[in-house]
């Protein structure tokens, strides 16, 4: 694995935003000023290699014509479990094996469908975004108005 400046910038950017996912274009826009001479083909080539090496996870969302990438972090084998994603902020949740096993067993029993966990993303709204939408403070702080 050959380490280039672009590869290092990509990994650094995604590591610092490890709970989010990005398109190759978003990554390009974020690192292009630091990378000097850079084109999108270089980004895609690096992203493909990093996915093959298990450094990144690639997602294709329904009804969207773009791939999304996320740093694997401690989840080096993301292709072995299922994910959930917030439809508002894009945060990725790694679903644990016991949940995934129970979920896939129930789908198989009830519907005769074998689910591929690595190809399945459950889309919903995370608790923080739900609270913000409802006008609540996701940190639980009460309004500290002293008037």
Q: Mind listing the pLDDT tens digit for each residue in 23-59?
A: 899 999 999 888 888 888 989 999 988 888 878 878 7
Does the annotation list 86 as a binding residue? yes
Residue 107, pLDDT score: 95
For residue 104, is it within any domain? yes
Nearest to 65 by CA among 36, 117, 23, 30: 23
Is the pLDDT reported for residue 1 higher than 70? no
For residue 89, is it within any domain? yes
Lowest mean pLDDT among 26-40, 50-64, 95-109, 132-146: 132-146
Does the annotation list 78 as a binding residue? no
Does the annotation list 139 as a binding residue? no
The answer on 3 and 74 residing in a single domain is yes
This prediction's pTM? 0.60
Residue 146, pLDDT score: 41
The answer on 55 and 24 residing in a single domain is yes
The answer on 72 and 5 residing in a single domain is yes
Q: Which of 29, 59, 78 is where one domain is finished?
A: 78
d(CA 67, CA 49): 15
Does the annotation list 51 as a binding residue? no
Q: Phi/psi at 129 (nearest 5 deg)?
A: -65, -35
For residue 147, is it within any domain? no
Query: In percent, how much of the chain has pLDDT > 70?
Result: 84
Burial bucket for residue 125 (CB in 10 Å: 0-12, 13-18, 19+): middle
For residue 99, is it within any domain? yes
Q: Which two tokens stand for residue 126?
A: 């995370």
């Amino acid at each position: 694995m050959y380490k280039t400046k672009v590869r290092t910038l990509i990994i650094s950017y995604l590591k610092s935003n490890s709970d989010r996912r990005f398109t190759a274009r978003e990554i390009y826009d974020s690192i292009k000023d630091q990378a000097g001479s850079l084109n999108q083909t270089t980004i895609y080539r690096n992203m493909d290699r990093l996915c093959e090496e298990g450094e990144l996870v690639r997602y294709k969302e329904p009804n969207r014509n773009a791939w999304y990438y996320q740093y694997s972090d401690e989840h080096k084998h993301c292709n072995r479990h299922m994910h959930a994603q917030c439809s508002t902020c894009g945060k990725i949740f790694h679903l644990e094996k016991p949940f995934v096993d129970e979920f896939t067993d129930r789908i198989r029993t009830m519907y005769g469908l074998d689910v591929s966990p690595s190809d399945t993303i459950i889309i919903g709204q995370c608790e923080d975004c739900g609270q913000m939408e409802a006008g609540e403070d996701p940190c639980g702080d009460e309004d500290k108005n002293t008037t």
